[in-house]
Amino acid sequence: MNPIELMSRVTFETGCVVAVLTFLAGWAGGLPAAVGVGAGGTMAIVNFRWLSRRVIGVLGQADAPVSGWILGFGVRFAALALAIGALAASGWAHPVGVVVGFTLLPCTLIRRGLLEAGRQG
């Protein structure tokens, strides 16, 4: 599996899990829980795709500048911090829901990596 296929598959699988858990969080915990899970999952997916695109781009270039990497890293972190801060300040999203949403992508990525390793080994 190439990096673009991995990125697409992880994005799709995480999106499906986020959608289901957003519904369940809304049913069990109300609107703030649903918004938290949905927003956290969406931010994790956007962050993952942004980082994946940068890595794929750098892998294609032998002499990629480090300054662009550092700037992109800072911008990505600042955007996430602002989004999380806005969610926390508005009271629309439950903080635990945001953490749950963020946690779904790493779990999906690890699961996908283990499945691929099992197929190849």
Cα radius of gyration (the chain): 16
pLDDT tier, 60 (very low <50, low <70, confident <90, very high otherwise):
confident
The string of pLDDT tens digits covering residues 63-105 is 666 667 778 788 888 999 999 889 888 988 999 999 999 999 9
User: In sequence order, which ranges of the chain are alpha helices (DSSP H)?
Assistant: 3-29, 31-59, 66-90, 95-120
Q: Please give the pLDDT value at position 57.
A: 76
User: CB 110: neighbour CB atoms within 10 A?
Assistant: 11
Task: Give the domain ranges of the chain.
Answer: 3-120
Of 43, 48, 20, 50, give the one whose Cα is nearest residue 93.
Answer: 43
